[in-house]
Amino acid sequence: MLKMAILVSTTPVLITELEKRIGMKMEHADLDDLLIPSYRKAEQALPMNSPESLMYDVDAVQRIIEYFLMYKNQQQPQDSGLYVSKLLDNYLVEIARDPNLSITRFQVLAESLPESTRSCDDGLYRAIDTYLKSHPLLSDYDRRRLCKIINCRKLSVDACMHAAQNDRLSLRTIIQVLLSEQVKMRAAIQEKEVGQRESNSENDEKQTSTDIEIKILRAELESVKAKMAELQSDYSELQQKHEKISNKQRRASIWVSRWKKIRTSLHKKVNEEEMGEDKEIPGQFGSRASFVSRTRMSIS
């Protein structure tokens, strides 16, 4: 009904009332209900490279989420937040493929729900990765802006494995993922060790398998530590290279300024010497003429 109301350009009051009703019944909505095409943007015939020519009406979904949060504590069940967070993450994956979607709109919509509504950030990570893949020309600052939304402690093991090898993420996020994975492995090792102490009555085969699993987890933990050390060393090397390049540029600018000063001083000296020679030449010719006249008079 909301799509038809937007299509026929009905009154804003009716559209607002429909958006409020959808926000109050978000636990019954699905992804197709939120994928509202930008009918108004299409009628305005905006250019394809315009930031306003979006595939879907993101502003309408943003208002629906705001109405949902408004009525959440009053009329919505407590577990509706988990469903709505998954629904929003799937919606973000769909709109992330839009090349005209700005990073600000995507970030605002991704942060519209409280962090407590998401028990796992795998869907949010998939949406951000899709946006980074569809917008490869983003700056490092914008990449860090999006990566800050992800809570690395809420990622599953598979998502952490993927994020640790994802070149599209910022280096800081990759390090945080490795650290969170290290903490999870430590907790798993401690749980295994505690379980091993408590299960003294178990047979030798189960105990052997537990020991093998602990060794495997420790080996994985050591590999994660080695990867983290390599990343930190690469990061420090990049910083040192950047400092060297900046120092070279400063030295070059200093040498250029000094060379300009030397060149101007040399030009001044040459000009002064030329002016001095011009003044001495007439005096030399006069002394020679007087000497010649004197010799003639003595001869006569």
Share of the chain above pLDDT 70, in %: 77
Please tell me the least confidently modeled range out of 3-7, 89-93, 215-219.
3-7
Q: What is the pLDDT of residue 132?
A: 95
Alpha-carbon distance values, 146 to 37, 92, 272 (Å): 25, 13, 65
pTM: 0.61
Nearest 10 degrees: Cα torsion 134, 135, 141, 144: 0
Find residue 37's DSSP bridge partners.
56
Helix axes of 157-164 and 122-134: crossing angle, nearest 10 degrees: 30
Secondary structure (3-state) at 282: helix
Mean per-residue pLDDT for 24-30?
Answer: 87
Please tell me the least confidently modeled range out of 57-61, 72-76, 79-83, 286-290.
286-290
Helix axes of 80-95 and 58-75: crossing angle, nearest 10 degrees: 170
